[in-house]
Structures are given as C-alpha cells and as structure tokens.
Copies of this chain bind each other. A is one copy, B any other.
C-alpha cells in the first residue's frame, strides 16, 4: 500500500467512523442535528432577539440604566423561549461612567510645521478607557512622549514625569488569529496607565487594539495598580495614532490636550439573568451556556456580546421548540459585568460552590456572532481526544476543530470547581474592527453566521449531554 493510498484509507476511516454501531449512532445524531439546524436556520429567533436588544436597549454598561433594561429584556426573552424557569442572580458590580464627551488634540509648535505635519492644533478622536478617572473640567495639557513598549518605557522612565505617555504598540498583523494580537497588545491598555503613573506621567493615550481601516477609537477596561496615582487614560483611533506618532517623530515638542469627565461611582447591585430547561435524567447536574449581558457605552454591544446572549437563549428555545428534553439541566446565563469587573461570572461560580451544585460543562460565546470555526475546550487531553469523533457531525455546519484552551471570561471561574469549560471560536478577522467601538451595532452582524454559531453551541451541548466526556458516539 503506497503512502498516498494509506493516507486516503486513514482519512476515510476517520471520516466514516469505526464500526456499524458507531455508524448507526452517528446517523441518529446526524439526523437530530439536521432537525436542530432547520429549527435555528429557518425559524430562529436569535436575530430578532438581537434586534430588540440592540435597538430598544442599546448600550448597557454595568450600573447604567441600560443594564437594568437589558435584565428585563433577558427575562422576557427567556420566557418567550419557553424556559422552564427564569430568575435573577444578584451581584455587586462597579459603576463607571463616561460622564460626557471626551476630547483631545495635539499641537505642533509653530515653525516646526513640515509638508507632512502642519503646525497648529489637530483633533484626536478618543474614548476614555473604562474604569479610568477623569481629567477635571479644564483637562490636562502636557508634552507627549511616544512609547512603543514597556521595555522602552523602562529605558526612558526619566523622561515621562509631568508628561502624557502615548503607547503606540501595533496590533500584530502576522498573527492569523486576531485574539493573539489582542492578547499581545492589550497589556498596554490594561496596565499601561499605572506603569506610566509609576514614573510620574500625568495621563496616557493608547493606540486602539484593532486591524480596522477606519479611525474609530476602541475603549476597554484598564486596571489601576493602587501603589501609583490613578491617571486619566484614553484610546486613540488608528489613523490619529499614526498622525500623532508622525508628528512626534518629526521632533520638536508636541503637546497633547486631553479632557475626559470619566469617573467611578460606588458599586451597585446588578444581576445575572438565568433561564433553565430541567433535565429528564439528571436534573441536579448542570450544563451552562452563556454570554455576557453588559456592553460598552459607545454602541449597541451587538457582537460584544449581544450575539452570545441571543445564541445562548436560542439553544434553550430550539430544544424546547423541538420538544427535546436533555438528560441534564441546561442553563443559559446572561452574565453581568464581564467588561469591567467579571463579577457576574465570579458570582455564578461562588453560588454553584456554596450550593454544592454538580456541573458537567460551561460553554460561552464571547468572540462575536461570526461564522463558526472551532471550539476552544478547557478539558483534559483524554477528554479532548475522546470528543474528536464529534467533529464529523459538526463539520457540515462549519466547526472542524476542538482546540485545547480556555472558556470565556464568564465561565472560566468554573474551572476552579473542576468543571470543563469551552468557548465558541468563530472566525476572528472582523471582531476587532468593531470591538468596544462605535461600530459594534446590529448592522455588522450577519444573521446566518450568528445562527450557525447558535446551532453549533446547541449541537455541542446535545453531544456533551448525551455522551458526557467519555466522548465517542
């Protein structure tokens, strides 16, 4: 047998399954999943749910009026999906407010103007970072220092006192998976402000984490280090970041003006919104599927994470619409406060622990409603190998990979209880065009891509519910 024929035979072997029993089960599952897909693709409610959430609720940052409207929306959506039980789970959340319009500009000293850099004042489109403090009504005006990395900051630490630090770290285009670029760059947003404050900086600007071709700034949370002064910080769009960097590069003292009215209020009560289908065989054992209900204030939170919420509701609705009762209890959870605290996910885990609940799996969708490609799985190597045969069932619907990895930020705390977690990993190319920016609106969601994500989530839950982590078929 030649190498080529051997390869072909092996592939055939993997694709068609092992023996007659396995094939029969795969065929039964395949038929079930086809019906499930039909329910979601022809009569799905996720897109209409998302329309109502984005267009009638809109932005819903923790503690905002929008968040409480969203809680009410979520309860109604679960009821319309025929959940057996719908309830709220309270947790305390931070309450940050933008407080008004952010503004910024930079000034090139007169006489220092060149063809590519006019002297005078140039506006900067910015968004204050979440959790940041404001500048006071007069704003801050100071010379700006261009910094490309924390290593450079360390080397030039004596230059930043009394100045504004501008982190211009690029979103690496050579990573095919954009979440890798994000993971690589986001430390400048999260930790950059306190790192600069450590050396006496007055404020921070940070290049937005995005491959977008426009100038929209992308906000997101920072985390202050209490050892250093809390200084204001804002994200700059890519085109403005390039202009500012070019202006600084030409030499001469470039001064930046920054004004943001952002501030933190006292913690306030908010809720995870939970809907449930009671299991037929092991109702005291749970499978969780969720997204997060809160979203940043500049837009509608369609991709982050409206789609994850409506997909999770759709999993419940589709099972109910088919008259299918899983063995285990399936909970869909719309988590509170993922964006700037993670308190909803923590609370869900803490209550599960306090009640001694048994959880089989917790799955999240928080990477956008894009066309599905894979699932990241926080399971053991043995479990990961055991579930590989499921891929032939998912592949016709776009998922071709179970990759070792974590779940989403809201379900990852469940790992502390030894619970297997996972996350839908749709195609990542467009996510950071919209993420935390004014462009995260319903219109960037393709209805069918999002529905296919919902289907694959429901399919994986069906398989985990039926076979557990023994896998196989």
Which A residues fall within an 8 A CB radius of B? 3-5, 7-8, 10-11, 13-14, 18, 37-38, 41-42, 47, 173-174, 176, 178, 211, 213, 371, 373, 382, 385-386, 388-389, 396-398, 400-401, 427, 429-430, 433, 446-449, 452, 471-472
Contact = CB atoms under 8 A, between A and B. Distances in A.
Contact of A388 (B8, B211, B398): B8
Contact of A7 (B211, B385, B397, B429): B385
6 contacts: A4-B385, A7-B388, A41-B174, A211-B448, A427-B449, A433-B446
A435 to B, nearest CB: 14
A151 to B, nearest CB: 21
B4 A14 contact: no
Contact of A429 (B173, B176, B211, B449): B449
Contacts of A47: 213
B4 A382 contact: yes
A174 B429 contact: no
A387 to B, nearest CB: 9
Contacts of A4: 382, 385-386, 471-472
Contacts of A13: 10
B400 A429 contact: no
A41 B452 contact: no
Given A4-B382, A371-B371, A42 B173 contact: yes
B429 A371 contact: yes
A427 B173 CA distance: 21
B427 A176 contact: no
A213 B447 contact: yes
A452 B429 contact: yes
A237 to B, nearest CB: 16
B3 A176 contact: no
A371 B8 CA distance: 27
Contacts of A449: 427, 429-430
A173 B173 CA distance: 35
Given A3-B472, A173-B448, A211-B447, 20 more contacts: A4-B382, A4-B472, A5-B385, A7-B389, A10-B14, A11-B388, A37-B176, A41-B174, A42-B173, A42-B174, A47-B213, A176-B397, A176-B398, A371-B427, A373-B398, A398-B427, A400-B401, A429-B446, A429-B452, A430-B449
**Prevailing SS type, chain A contact patch:** helix
Contacts of A472: 3-4
B430 A446 contact: yes
Contact of A400 (B176, B388, B400, B447): B400
A41 B42 CA distance: 37
A181 B430 CA distance: 25
Contacts of A173: 41-42, 448
Nearest to A13: B10
A18 B41 contact: no
Nearest to A7: B388
Nearest to A455: B176
A7, A433, A449, most chain B CB atoms within 10 A: A7
A211 B41 CA distance: 11
Nearest to A5: B385
Contacts of A427: 371, 398, 427, 449
Closest 8 CB pairs of A and B: A8-B385, A371-B427, A429-B448, A429-B449, A41-B173, A4-B386, A42-B173, A400-B400
Contacts of A397: 176
A459 B53 CA distance: 43
Contacts of A396: 176
A389 B447 CA distance: 34
Nearest to A433: B446
A11 B13 CA distance: 11
A38 B173 CA distance: 8
A216 B446 CA distance: 16
A248 B440 CA distance: 39
A178 B18 CA distance: 31
A37 B447 contact: no
A3, A41, A385, A427, most chain B CB atoms within 10 A: A427
Nearest to A432: B448
A30 B41 CA distance: 38
A211 B448 CA distance: 8
A46 to B, nearest CB: 13
A388 B13 CA distance: 14
